[in-house]
């Protein structure tokens, strides 16, 4: 498979809309599509996965997904992320790529107290 057949996808989903973009490995935007809300808190896990899977399949076509970055409002706790990963496990694009969420050390790290004076 040539690099032209490989893509990175980015998903930005929330309470009002979902944007999915497919990028070539050099960063060129190949395709993009906007769809309905996909927050699992609003449409449920299955509904969210269905929205994102349909949009991703539309923008990817027959290309190979080498990385998938998924940013969804409402995926904040480790258990929510674990359940969502399990929910997309059957999607071809999720199985072929690397998958991430909005979780970062700033969001999920224990609160740090400043020294008192």
- Least confident segment among 14-18, 38-42, 44-48, 69-73: 69-73
| Contact indicator for 21, 32 with CB cutoff of 8 Å | yes
Classify each residue of 15-42 as buried b or exposed e, where b means 16 or more C-beta atoms within 10 Å of its C-beta: eeebbbbbbeeeeeebeeeeeebbbbbe
**3-class SS of residue 114:** coil
Q: Which pTM was predicted?
A: 0.80
pLDDT of residue 47: 97
Of the pLDDT bands very low, low, confident and very high (cuts 50, 70, 90), residue 102 is: low
Q: Which two tokens stand for residue 43?
A: 């449409």
Which residue has better confidence, 77 or 108? Answer: 77
pLDDT of amino acid 97:
57
Confidence band of 3 (pLDDT split at 50, 70, 90)? low
pLDDT at residue 21, rounded to an integer: 97
What pLDDT was estimated at residue 91?
92
CA distance 52 to 35: 8
Rounded Cα–Cα distance for residues 62 and 15 (Å): 29
pLDDT at 98 over 70: no
Closest to 9 in 3D by CA, of 66, 48, 91: 66
**What pairing do the DSSP bridges indicate for beta strands 29-35 and 18-24?**
antiparallel
Q: What share of the chain is helix, strand, coil (3-state, %, to 5)?
A: 40, 30, 35
Q: Which tens digits make up the pLDDT trace of 10-36?
A: 999 999 999 999 999 999 999 999 999
């Amino acid at each position: 498979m040539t690099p032209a057949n490989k893509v990175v996808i980015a998903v930005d989903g929330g309470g009002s809309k979902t944007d999915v973009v497919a990028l070539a490995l050099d960063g060129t935007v190949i395709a993009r599509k906007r769809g309905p809300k996909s927050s699992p808190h609003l449409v449920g896990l299955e509904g969210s996965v269905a929205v994102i899977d349909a949009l991703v399949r539309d923008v990817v076509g027959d290309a190979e997904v080498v990385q998938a970055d998924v940013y969804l409002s409402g995926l904040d706790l480790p258990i929510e992320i674990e359940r969502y990963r399990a929910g997309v496990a059957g999607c071809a694009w999720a199985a072929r790529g690397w998958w991430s969420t909005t979780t970062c050390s700033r969001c999920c790290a224990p609160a740090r107290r400043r020294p008192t004076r």
